[in-house]
Amino acid sequence: MTLWFVLAMMTGAAIFAVLWPLGRRAEGLSSGHHVRVYRDQLEEITRDEAAGRIGAAEAEAARIEVSRRLLAAADQESAAPETSPSRKRAVAIVALVLLPLLSGGLYLALGSPSLPGQPLSARANPQAAQPIEQLVAQVEAHLESNPQDGRGWEVLAPVYMQLRRYDAAARARRNAITYNGATAKRESDLGEALTASAQGIVTAEAKLAFERALALDDREAKARYFLGVAARQDGRTTEAAAMWRDLLASAPPGVSWAEFVRGELAEVEQRSGQIVSGPGAEEVAAAAAMDPKQRQQMIVGMVEGLAQRLKKDGGDFEGWLRLVRAYTVLGERDKARVAASDARRAVERDADKLRRLDELVKELGLES
């Protein structure tokens, strides 16, 4: 009801605006006002000439111009037709009848309350109402014609990340580095895109990008975090935990990602306590008193214990990675290759784990 009342008031105001000129006196609409103005200007010119503010030639030229305008206004006044009463009635009928009908019809067609609203942002910026895919296609077309537009690649890359087009995001990151120059953030963003493209696995290429980022700025938080992820994936959980502790220690107060890293750190520490059967305090003290040969035997015994456990339960993929690396450190490269083969059979249906295993074998130089 309130809406219709407002609409009625608006319609009444519109009708009043149309009828008001029709009710005014005819002379109010004539050019008589202009005639009086021009006559006042002639008198003012005479006063200015008498006071010496303008010269005689200037005064005469001004009189001629004002007089010309005065005659034109007088002719217009005499030639202006008087609006007939019948025409006024016709205009009044249009204003009183057709104008409300027309406005009501337009409202029912275009302004019905049942129609969905349109966001202000879309009305203010029609381009914003376009689908994101269409906007991306426009930017891609621009970059196809201007491939060296580094700014365009840098703007497009995070959009690709949001759309989960990770391969395209990695390509855009590389182009941004090529045309804008390398920075710690750009290298770190490239590593992130490569990791996302590998479904969360920090590949060798991604690891190199993170290492380049730290070479440019050793405080780059994203690179430090993902290098910790790489260490965890390789079975170096102690190293991963140390990296994340250092990252949290240097984090600014209230930073948004700190809570996430704390969760990752807690998970690593918990899993390390359950899976990594490291020596206890008494064993560490006993190892310190051992000679090198005895200490080596102790380490070998722990590694063989891990190997025996994996033969019984081969589902611990992180354990397989640790075993391959441990054999390599001990110089048992043949055993490391055998362990890698056993691990490959254990995860033969998991493409991501196979890729991680192949990367470790390549990193350790265990290719046959």
- Numbered ranges of CATH 1.25.40.10 in the chain: 149-252+259-272
Q: What percent of the chain has pLDDT over 70?
A: 62
pLDDT tier at 309 (50, 70, 90 boundaries)? Answer: confident
Give the C-alpha separation, 43 to 99, whole Å.
47
Q: Around 367, how many Cα atoms within 13 Å sit in the side-chain half-sphere?
A: 5
Pick from 1-15, 137-151, 210-224, 226-240 the range whose average pLDDT is largest.
Answer: 210-224
Helix axes 99-110, 2-23, angle to 10 degrees: 150
Instruction: Tell me 114's DSSP state.
Output: T
On the question of pLDDT at 24 being above 80, the answer is no
Q: Are 159 and 132 in contact (CB under 8 A)?
A: yes
- pLDDT tens digits along 101-117: 666 666 655 555 554 55
Q: Are 335 and 311 in contact (CB under 8 A)?
A: no
Q: What percent of the chain has pLDDT over 90?
A: 15
Question: Which pLDDT does position 281 carry in this prediction?
Answer: 42
Pick from 40-54, 220-234, 305-319 the range whose average pLDDT is largest.
Answer: 220-234
Mean pLDDT of the region 114-125? 52
Q: Are 11 and 102 in contact (CB under 8 A)?
A: no
Mean pLDDT of the region 59-81? 63
Mean pLDDT of the region 138-149? 87
- State the amino acid at position 32 in one-letter form: G
- State the amino acid at position 9 in one-letter form: M
Question: Which pLDDT does position 293 carry in this prediction?
Answer: 63
86: which residues sit within 8 A by CB, 6+ positions away?
none
337: which residues sit within 8 A by CB, 6+ positions away?
366, 368
Please give the model's pTM, rounded to 2 decimal places: 0.44
Give the C-alpha separation, 357 to 324, whole Å.
9
Question: Which pLDDT does position 12 carry in this prediction?
Answer: 67
- pLDDT tens digits along 247-294: 988 888 888 888 888 888 887 776 654 444 444 444 444 544 555 666
The CATH H-level (homologous superfamily) assignment of domain 149-252+259-272 is Tetratricopeptide repeat domain (1.25.40.10)
Mean pLDDT of the region 21-34? 51
Pick from 15-24, 77-86, 140-149, 280-289 the range whose average pLDDT is largest.
Answer: 140-149
Q: Are 298 and 321 in contact (CB under 8 A)?
A: no
On the question of pLDDT at 189 being above 90, the answer is yes
Nearest to 247 by CA among 270, 265, 224, 226: 224
Give the C-alpha separation, 103 to 69, whole Å.
42
169: which residues sit within 8 A by CB, 6+ positions away?
157, 158, 160, 161, 193, 196, 197
The CATH class of the 284-364 domain is: mainly alpha
First to last CA, the chain: 84
Chain-wide mean pLDDT for the chain? 75
